[in-house]
Each structure stands twice: as structure tokens, then as C-alpha cells.
Structure 1
């Protein structure tokens, strides 16, 4: 039996089902993986809703992240062997390679032998979060020691990854979260300071924390009305990296502030890194090094069995998690 997560129409988690599908056979440049754990991201929710950058082709599979064991290799695949414990770097569309299933195909360039110290659950939690944070902070913003970084939606898996990468670079991480409910968890996760955006004056608090200088980097997946405060909180010459649009309401923007503070507002997506072979290799090397040294560690909020995939999506959409939601495949999801 080989089951995959499928859906025939856009909508809420109830459109998802587990369906028996033929065992896939890898073509040239492809790898067949028997999965043990699957990473769940906001991207899957948006894809299922028809709100992502690519629209699902029905009947549609889903899923960007998986970890498991190589079961077969297609022609021309080098550097991997049957039996390798691997995980998948999102660098393809979900229409081409949906990886939420029991046995899945992935392009060989996206398959990485992960550090042995990682469990399969942890390995399924690595690439979306750490490559997104690496891309925005290191590749795009050029983070350096002494920088102050504002990290919106800090309790998300990407937000937690950004805190760790800021520390790896010698920078100061200020976590932004809607209320004080997650303050202690974010401090425990390494945030140097936490600002509750609905309870505090964000620009005033940032000025207080930075001796009036503001933040040199802003890392934001939200947009919407809150972006105006982030512009005000930014230091002269700051880079604002916008990697999501969780708030789709119109964004008020003080153009004079952008102009006279010489701000850079930079849109960024993970695929800018993962579809460029050199930048992808640099990102994988950076993350693998950090994982091996223990400088980077994925945070798992909760796991669900594959049979409860719809419940996992429901939990994701509530937005109460701190870290990654992982779906386990089979009875044993450890390496």
C-alpha cells in the first residue's frame, strides 16, 4: 500500500484525503523516498486554499518537506545511495513534486543527506525554515555582528530559525509577537527581547532597546497595517525583507520615511535561493554546518500521524504553535 495526501478542490482542511496511489518510479534525475516524517508549513495551507503563488492542478498532491530513506534512484543520480537517510529542500512546485505521502519522488538536486544527529522529525523541519531565514538575513540583508534584527511572527518555525541565525552571526534578535502569551517561550528560544505588537508601541519600544538607533534589519512575513510601524522602527539605511503576506489588508506606507531614511524594502521568497544552484549549495552548507555544530536546532511544536493530516492543517491555521508541526509516517519516525 502506498498512500498520498490528495485533494480535488480548494478549501479548508476537510478537502484533504489519504488516497492509495501507485508506487512511483524515479525517472532520470529523480529519487524515490520512503518517507518517515513530513514538515507542514503555511505554504501548504495557502496552496490548499488556492492562495499560493502556484494554483493546484487537480487531482492535486501537496507538500514541500519530507524526510525518509532513499528506496530507488533514477538514471544519472550521483552522490546518493539506496538506504541513505535524507530530507528534501523545497526547490520545486507542489504540482511537480508533492512530497506528502508514504513513497514520493523528488528531484535529486533537492535531496540532502542530513546530519546523523537529527531524527526524521527534526530533518523534516529543517529546510523551509532555515533556508528562508538564511536567505532573508544572510544572503539578502547581509547580517553582521552588532546588527539589531526585528523578527515578526517570531514564534513561527521561520521566526525561531531567524533568532538562531541572528545569534550565529553575532546579531541581536528582537522577537515580535501579537500578545504577551508567548513571551517566555520566545525568550527561552533565544530572543534577546520580545515586543507584543498589540500591547506595546513598537517604534517607541525599538527606540528604547536600541538607544534611539532603530533596527538595521526587519524580517517580516506579515505586511498589512503593521508594516508602517516597522518602517518607523527601522534605522536609517535599514533593509526590510518581506517574505510573506499573512495580512492582506492594504499597507499604509510613509514614503517620506522610506525616502529620507534611505530604506530598502525587499521582497524575498525561498525559491530565489533554492532554484539557483550556487545559492542553494551555499545555503545547504551554511545550514548543515550550523546543524552539525548545534548552533541551529529545529523546534517541533507538535506531531500528528499521517492519518490525521486534516487535523494537522487545522492546528496550523489556529496559529498557536511555537515551532514546526510535523506529520509522522508509520509507527517509527526516528532515525
Structure 2
């Protein structure tokens, strides 16, 4: 028997329910994991609210990232031993699997070996953010040393991961944040420049910093009315990667700016990378090497206990965190 978390109706954190269930033996291509730590993602909050890119089928489980020990392996699974430390990466539908539990089933295609030297809390926090930025910058944007990169919502976990990877590649990260409250933290995290968008002229600041050239890469999870300012701040022929839609307002930009800047605008999700076995393997190897070299590092804001999962979700939705939220089991 194991405690897991489910919800029978969509809504706020209070819809999360603890259930005592019997966890079956893993089937073909599956692994059973005894969980030690779980990482919270914005995608799970959206899923719980019924606002995710996939329609939720109730009653539902949730959770993408967990770290723990292999408890059992299903038929046909090779390369993993019972008792071995492993992590899960976002490479499945939450309609099929959910990592919020003491004992969970995961598809082997989403199970990776635990990186050396990391705690379970640290390992649970790395894969969503680092695979997302790897796929965006290395695969989609072909990031090169010296490229200037605009990072809106830079104090998010993915934003912080982006700053690290951009620096790792010898490129130049410009962090965007709405207020000055997190400005120094972003500079300390490695941003070459921080633009406070509610107090400064974004386009003017970026063009001044780049000598009038603009940023070659924009990595935007927001959209909305501010998209036009991002386009204006771009280098001619640059690439804008849209990986989220935090703004509920329509995206706005000038067609004339499109003719002037000639940007490539690409929609990107982690599934582009994690859903392809060869690309996922390359991403995991790149991230593991970056962790070992100290170029990529986990950043945990706060740790909750499993019993505090509802409180952890409430904290996630305050948007006050600087780094990842982790739950220990």
C-alpha cells in the first residue's frame, strides 16, 4: 500500500486528496519507484486547474519529476537494478502516470539514472528546467558564444536555468523582471544585465547594451501585449522561442516590425526533446556533464514535506519563489 495524491475535480490546491492505494507490479516497459523527493512544476498547477495543454481526465493523478530508488522492474526492462537511485523526467502524460506518491509507477522511457553527487531533493529539481532550456537553446536556436539572449520571467526556475546554460555556452543573458525586487538576485545568478520592465524601457535598454544590434535569441514564456517590445529588441534575423503563455491577453506586435526585424518565431515545449529517445539521451548527457563541471547547478527555494503538498501548491502559486519547490517523501 502507498499514499498517493489525486484530485476528483479541478480547482485550487484544496482539491488535492491523499489516497491509500495498492500499487500494482510494473507492467512491460515500466518501473516502480520508491519516491524520496518530488519537484513541483507550473505545469502541475495548470493541470490541477484544468488549464493545461492536455485535457485532464478525472479522477486524476499528477506530477512529472521524482527521485528515489527502483523498487521493481517490469518485463522487458533492462539496465536498471532494484535498489538503484533514479529520477523521472517529463516524458509522459499525467493522464497515464503521476509522480505524487510514496510508491509510483513510471514508464522506463522517462527514467534516468541519478546524477552523481546530488541529493534526492536536488535531483528531483533539475530535469524539467534544464531539458527545456537545452532543447530551446542547443537544438532550436543553435546558440553560439557571444549571442545575446533575452530571458523574460527570468526569476522562474526555467529562467534561472536559462541564465546558467547561456553562460555555460559563452553567450550573454539579459534577464527581464517586472519589478526591482529580484534584480540583485538575478545579477548574482549570472545575468549580464537586468531590465526591470515596469520601470525601464525594455527596447531602449537592450539596444543600448548591444550597441544598437539587439538580441539574437528571445526565450519567452509570457506572450501578451509585451511581445511587440521583445520583437523590437531583437537583432535582425533573430529567433523568438515561445515556450509558455503566462499572459491571458492576446499577443500583440507590429507587422511592420516583422518586416524590419525578420524574426523566426518558433513554438517550443519540452516534449520536442524529452519525447524523442535519442534527443532525450543527448540532453541528459549534456546536463549531467554540465552538473559535473559545476556549470549547471540546482537551485532550491523551499522544501516541504509530503503531508504539506497542499501548502506547497499554494506557495507555488504566490510566484514569490526564486528557484524550485521540492517536496520530500
Per-residue Cα deviation, 1:3-62 (whole angstroms, up to 9, x for no partner): 111100010011011111112310011000000000101000100011101122111111
Aligned residue runs from structure 1 range 242-253, under 5 A: 242-253=242-253
Tell me the residue number matched to 2:299: 299
**Are the equivalent residues in 1 in contact too, given 2:34–2:102 (CA < 8 A)?**
yes
TM-score w.r.t. length of structure 1: 0.97
- 1:101 equivalent in alignment to 2:101: yes
Aligned residue runs from structure 1 range 87-236, under 5 A: 87-236=87-236
Counterpart secondary structure, 2:219: strand
Once the two structures are TM-superposed, the CA of residue 319 in structure 1 deviates from its matched residue by: 0.4
Tell me the residue number matched to 2:238: 238
**Are the equivalent residues in 1 in contact too, given 2:91–2:274 (CA < 8 A)?**
yes
Give unpaired runs (5+ residues) of structure 2: none
Tell me the residue number matched to 1:333: none
Counterpart secondary structure, 1:318: coil
**Are the equivalent residues in 2 in contact too, given 1:146–1:171 (CA < 8 A)?**
yes
Tell me the residue number matched to 1:62: 62
Alpha-carbon distance in 2 for matches of 1:199, 1:307: 40
Alpha-carbon distance in 2 for matches of 1:319, 1:184: 17
**Are the equivalent residues in 2 in contact too, given 1:24–1:103 (CA < 8 A)?**
no
Per-residue Cα deviation, 1:67-87 (whole angstroms, up to 9, x for no partner): 011110001111111111111
Counterpart secondary structure, 1:304: strand
Alpha-carbon distance in 2 for matches of 1:151, 1:24: 43
Per-residue Cα deviation, 1:114-135 (whole angstroms, up to 9, x for no partner): 2220000010001100000111
**Are the equivalent residues in 2 in contact too, given 1:133–1:165 (CA < 8 A)?**
yes
Counterpart secondary structure, 2:38: strand
Alpha-carbon distance in 2 for matches of 1:86, 1:190: 30
**Are the equivalent residues in 2 in contact too, given 1:46–1:52 (CA < 8 A)?**
yes
**Are the equivalent residues in 2 in contact too, given 1:24–1:104 (CA < 8 A)?**
no
Counterpart secondary structure, 2:159: helix
Alpha-carbon distance in 1 for matches of 2:259, 2:78: 50
Alpha-carbon distance in 1 for matches of 2:84, 2:152: 36
Counterpart secondary structure, 1:135: helix
Tell me the residue number matched to 2:265: 265
**Are the equivalent residues in 1 in contact too, given 2:232–2:261 (CA < 8 A)?**
no
Tell me the residue number matched to 2:309: 309
Q: Which runs of 4+ in 1 moved over 3 A?
A: none
Tell me the residue number matched to 1:332: none
TM-score w.r.t. length of structure 2: 0.98
Counterpart secondary structure, 1:161: helix
Alpha-carbon distance in 2 for matches of 1:239, 1:114: 34
- 1:15 equivalent in alignment to 2:9: no
Give unpaired runs (5+ residues) of structure 1: 330-335
Alpha-carbon distance in 1 for matches of 2:79, 2:195: 45
Tell me the residue number matched to 2:52: 52
Counterpart secondary structure, 2:246: coil
Once the two structures are TM-superposed, the CA of residue 137 in structure 1 deviates from its matched residue by: 1.1
Alpha-carbon distance in 2 for matches of 1:156, 1:130: 12
Once the two structures are TM-superposed, the CA of residue 191 in structure 1 deviates from its matched residue by: 1.0
Counterpart secondary structure, 2:322: coil
